[in-house]
Amino acid sequence: MQKKITTPLTNECIENLKAGDSVLLTGYIYTARDAAHKRLVELIEKGEDLPFDVEGQIIYYVGPTPAKEGMPIGSAGPTTSYRMDPYTPALLDKGLKGMIGKGKRSLEVVESMKKNRAVYFAAIGGAAALTAKCVKESELVAYEDLGAEAIRRLYVEDLPLIVVIDAEGNNYYEIGQQEYKKSIE
């Protein structure tokens, strides 16, 4: 069964999400990938304000294709998350509660997620045309010069995600693969 969740993420919602859950997400989320993360963390290090308040929010690791006329966004699937690992703990310490991407995370990120009670979701990598259908609005927030890497605020409706790492640090890549191997023994 798919759980319906909304942003900003509440502590109650986070504690109820378990690795392997399928969820449908509705609400505002922020896009950021490599170059934007670098700038955000430079601001944190200098003690300056971020271009948006990350408290309780979700960042989606995505660099969409350009939108055609009349569309809010182009294709918009997840990018590989590990490249954001060096920057992630600083954002989690600032109150970031969720991340959407695909692929593995570092031990440092998982430890920081447990400490800060945050969740890591996977969107389906490669299903970018389908994912675009869930994006209803897109608004530039910062770093227009970065093109596809700019920070945008998206309004998504029923975006299908899978909880990969929950706030306890359980990892569905490990659990799912173990379960599959057991099933064929």
Partner 1 sequence: MREVHVSKITEIIKKLCMDANYYLGDDIKNKFYEFKEKETSKLGKEILDILINNSEIAEKEQMPMCQDTGMAVVFMEIGQDVHIVGGNIEDAINEGVRQGYIEGYLRKSVVKDPLDRVNTKDNTPAIVHYNIVPGDKIKITVAPKGFGSENMSRLKMLKPADGVEGVKRFVLETVKEAGPNPCPPIVVGIGIGGTFEKAAFLAKKALLRSIDEENKNPYYAKLEKEILDEINKLGIGPQGFGGLTTCLGVNIEVYATHIAGLPVAVNINCHATRHKEAII
Instruction: Tell the smallest beta-carbon distance from residue 76 to partner 1 (Å).
Output: 5
> Residue 185 interacts with partner 1 (CB under 8 A)?
no
Residue (33 or 97) nearer to partner 1, CB: 33
Per the CB < 8 A criterion, the answer to whether 141 and 51 are in contact is yes
Indicate which single residue of 3, 24, 28, 35 sits in contact with partner 1 (rule: CB under 8 A). Answer: 35
Q: Which of residues 6-25 bind partner 1 (CB under 8 A)?
A: none
- How would you classify the pairing of strands 98-101 and 58-60? parallel
> Residue 128 interacts with partner 1 (CB under 8 A)?
yes
3-state secondary structure 159-181: EEEEEEECCCCCEHHHHHHHHHH
Examine the residue annotation and report whether 137 is marked as an active-site residue of this protein. no
Q: Which part of the chain contacts partner 1 (CB under 8 A), choosing from 3-11, 49-57, 88-96, 101-109?
A: 101-109
> Residue 125 interacts with partner 1 (CB under 8 A)?
yes
> Residue 82 interacts with partner 1 (CB under 8 A)?
yes
Indicate which single residue of 23, 57, 58, 79 sits in contact with partner 1 (rule: CB under 8 A). Answer: 79
> 69 — phi, psi (to 5°)?
-55, 135
> 160 — phi, psi (to 5°)?
-75, 125
Instruction: Exactly one of 37, 39, 97, 105 is catalytic; name it.
Output: 37
SS3 59: strand
With contacts defined by CB under 8 A, how many residues of the chain interact with partner 1?
43
CA nearest neighbour of 115 among 96, 128, 134: 96
Task: Return contacts of 171-174, CB within 8 angstroms, 24+ apart.
Answer: 171/19, 171/110, 172/19, 172/20, 173/104
User: Any idea which residues carry the catalytic annotation?
Assistant: 37
Residue ranges that bind partner 1, judged by CB under 8 A: 35, 62-68, 74-77, 79-80, 82, 102-104, 122, 124-130, 132-133, 146-149, 162, 172-173, 176-181, 183-184
